[in-house]
A and B are shown apart, each in its own frame.
Chain A
Amino acid sequence: MDFTVFMQQMVNGFSLGSMYALIAIGYTMVYGVLRLINFAHGDIMMVGAFLGYFGVSILGLPFPAAVLLAVVGSAALGMLTDKIAYRPLRSAPKISLLITAIGISFFLENAFNVFFGGTPRAFPVPEYMEIILSLGGLTFSVASLMVPIVTLILLAIILWILFKTKYGMAIRALAFDVNTVNLMGIDANRIIMIVFGIGSALAAVGGIFWAVNYPSVEPMMGVLIGLKAFAAAVVGGIGSVAGAVIGGFIIGFTEVVVVAFLPEYGGYKDAFAFVLLILVLLFKPTGILGLNFDKSRF
């Protein structure tokens, strides 16, 4: 195998893995505080990508401003779903929450289908992101370089929030016991809402990166990407932010490697994330960095 080709694929894998990681963090954080697989998370990402699209093509905003709009809008939507859909079900069985999440997912997909149509829309990628750089035989676009860098910066911020601020401490404590968190004088509902906000903001960034790399947006784009990011969260160990990032990279690299080195199986690339998911569930259900949650919370 040619070393340059290998390195080229590593660059691509790093970029793809970063996008999965950004989305997987939202799944894992919400699971940590609510024991909920938020199936609407992929669709929040889709909404983020659409907001970015609207920002640039309809409002004529510069790209960074459109990203900001997407991040703020998605965070608000994430917090809103928590407030109106999940919060009333805090003491309901977990299965009710799960069904509600699927309902929100269907609602968002179909609402966007009705209002904006199912035809993919070309995403207006800013020119400077399409510049191709070459370095020692490797070529990559500015966009594919930006994705991992931004991801690592955001990851550092998230870990700092989780481990160095009082809000992070409350988020970590929520993974163990919601009632006891309340008894520390902390409004657990507010912390849960912050978690939805952070997760949704990251998903919006992931969604915009996606839209830039495969330059289009459409209402169903969150389904497959969301499921793969969910697989990444489980592979890495659901509940663990670092695990979600590791899982995201594993799935990103696997996909790239399959397409690059086993082109005859390239058509199955989407299946590999789920094969990994099944293997992890069979042999190490807690994932790579999985936390052993108190069984009584289930």
Chain B
Amino acid sequence: MILQMKNVTKKFGGVTAINDTSFTVQAKEIYGLIGPNGAGKTTMFNIITGNYEATEGEILFRKETLNGLKPHTIVRKGIARTFQNIRLFSSMSVLDNVLIGFDFQAKYTYLETIFRLPRFFGEEKRVKKRAMEILDYFGIKEFAHYKATDLSYGQQRKVEIARALATNPEMLLLDEPAAGMNPAETKELAELIHNAREDFDLTVLLIEHDMKFVNQLCDKVLVLDYGKTIFEGKPADAIKDKEVVAAYLGDFIHD
């Protein structure tokens, strides 16, 4: 197992966003986090990435606790994420957006940067080449020098995933990657994520509302409702589960 959430609870004042939730993600799994709006999915992401601190419970990544760590430290441990609303560095180039993820993993020291030692040059060239390779992988290499916001929505989404991969993660958290995409783009994205798992040796945890997308891609799903787990298992079984259907469509289904 790569990620283990143990009895995690998150309270905001009197509101319980996540209530005693546990789940485990295995290495190289594509794991879906689904549930109606306000179920606590994004809150869960924010807890894993260190943006929020869990009120109770423990988060283990490769058997190491993430509780109390700062977001930038957690990234360096190997967890990267994207956002529901795309958050690129808007007026920087596509290449710079990806490079910034690389740069702080690169192994040259502050002094070397200042004195531009040969190692720095070599490293810089290598990093740039790597960044271009990732852009190429996502089919957006020709836009490398465009301003990030000049790209289409679907392309910006890809830049965001490329930027996350630049930090060399073992685990990638995708918050509604297919939001705002048309069916053709969604299908392409699903294939891309599926392939990226192999090519980048990734474990993927994703939030998504598009059930077709989830069905096609995820090995396992966790369904949250009002911060509580109501189902964990195969996506095909989730849509047959009475409680899950009730959560999405309302209780009258039971009658």
Measured CB to CB, the residues of A under 8 A from B are: 165-167, 169-170, 172-173, 176-177, 179-188, 291, 294
Please tell me if the beta carbons of A170 and B75 are within 8 angstroms of each other in the complex.
Answer: no
Most chain B C-beta atoms within 10 Å of own C-beta, residue among A176, A181, A294: A176
Please tell me if the beta carbons of A185 and B105 are within 8 angstroms of each other in the complex.
Answer: yes
Question: Given A166-B106, A166-B113, A169-B99: A185 and B89 within 8 A (CB)?
Answer: no
The 9 closest A-B pairs by CB, nearest first: A166-B103, A185-B75, A182-B71, A173-B89, A176-B89, A182-B72, A187-B72, A185-B76, A184-B101
Q: List 23 A-B contacts (CB under 8 A).
A: A166-B106, A166-B113, A169-B99, A169-B103, A172-B89, A172-B96, A173-B89, A173-B100, A176-B89, A177-B89, A179-B87, A180-B83, A180-B87, A182-B70, A183-B49, A183-B71, A183-B81, A183-B164, A184-B104, A184-B166, A185-B104, A185-B105, A185-B167
Q: Smallest distance from the beta carbon of A47 to chain B beta carbons, Å?
A: 25
Most chain B C-beta atoms within 10 Å of own C-beta, residue among A180, A182, A183, A186: A183
Most chain A C-beta atoms within 10 Å of own C-beta, residue among B51, B83, B91: B91
A278 CA to B164 CA in the complex, in Å? 43
Most chain A C-beta atoms within 10 Å of own C-beta, residue among B89, B164, B167: B89
Q: B163 interface residue, CB < 8 Å from A?
A: yes
Q: B80 interface residue, CB < 8 Å from A?
A: yes
Which residues of chain A come closer than 8 Å to B51, judged between CB atoms?
179
Which residues of chain B come closer than 8 Å to A167, judged between CB atoms?
110, 113
Q: Tell me the number of A-to-B contacts counted with CB atoms below 8 Å.
A: 69
Which residues of chain A come closer than 8 Å to B90, judged between CB atoms?
176, 294
A165 CA to B164 CA in the complex, in Å? 20
A124 CA to B239 CA in the complex, in Å? 82
Question: Given A176-B90, A294-B90: A170 and B100 within 8 A (CB)?
Answer: yes
Question: Given A165-B113, A185-B76, A185-B105: A179 and B71 within 8 A (CB)?
Answer: yes
A284 CA to B205 CA in the complex, in Å? 46
Please tell me if the beta carbons of A182 and B96 are within 8 angstroms of each other in the complex.
Answer: no
A166 CA to B120 CA in the complex, in Å? 11
Question: Given A169-B99, A170-B104: A182 and B89 within 8 A (CB)?
Answer: no
Please tell me if the beta carbons of A184 and B87 are within 8 angstroms of each other in the complex.
Answer: no
Classify chain B: how many residues form its interface, as a range.
Answer: 20 to 34
A180 CA to B167 CA in the complex, in Å? 12
Q: Smallest distance from the beta carbon of A51 to chain B beta carbons, Å?
A: 24
Give the nearest-CB partner of A170 in chain B: B100
Per-position contact with A for B160-175: 1 when CB-CB < 8 Å, else 0? 0001101100000000
A165 CA to B127 CA in the complex, in Å? 13
Please tell me if the beta carbons of B104 and A183 are within 8 angstroms of each other in the complex.
Answer: no
Q: Smallest distance from the beta carbon of B47 to chain A beta carbons, Å?
A: 14
Q: Smallest distance from the beta carbon of B225 to chain A beta carbons, Å?
A: 27
Which residues of chain B come closer than 8 Å to A184, judged between CB atoms?
72, 75, 100-101, 104, 163, 166-167
Question: Given A179-B71, A185-B105: A172 and B87 within 8 A (CB)?
Answer: no
Which residues of chain A come closer than 8 Å to B167, judged between CB atoms?
184-185
Please tell me if the beta carbons of B91 and A291 are within 8 angstroms of each other in the complex.
Answer: yes
Per-position contact with A for B44-65: 1 when CB-CB < 8 Å, else 0? 0000010100000000000000
Please tell me if the beta carbons of A188 and B72 are within 8 angstroms of each other in the complex.
Answer: yes
Q: B92 interface residue, CB < 8 Å from A?
A: yes
- Within B166-192, the residues touching A (CB, 8 Å) are 166-167
A205 CA to B148 CA in the complex, in Å? 37
Which residues of chain A come closer than 8 Å to B103, judged between CB atoms?
166, 169-170
Give the nearest-CB partner of B160 in chain A: A180
Give the nearest-CB partner of A174 in chain B: B89
Which residues of chain B come closer than 8 Å to A173, judged between CB atoms?
89, 92, 100
Which residues of chain A come closer than 8 Å to B70, judged between CB atoms?
182, 187
A252 CA to B250 CA in the complex, in Å? 69
Give the nearest-CB partner of A179 in chain B: B51
Give the nearest-CB partner of B76 in chain A: A185
Which residues of chain A come closer than 8 Å to B99, judged between CB atoms?
169
Please tell me if the beta carbons of A183 and B80 are within 8 angstroms of each other in the complex.
Answer: yes
Q: Smallest distance from the beta carbon of A153 to chain B beta carbons, Å?
A: 15
Please tell me if the beta carbons of A182 and B87 are within 8 angstroms of each other in the complex.
Answer: no
Q: Which of B87, B96, B163, B166 contacts A169 (CB 8 A)?
A: B96
Please tell me if the beta carbons of A177 and B113 are within 8 angstroms of each other in the complex.
Answer: no
Please tell me if the beta carbons of A185 and B96 are within 8 angstroms of each other in the complex.
Answer: no
A227 CA to B113 CA in the complex, in Å? 34
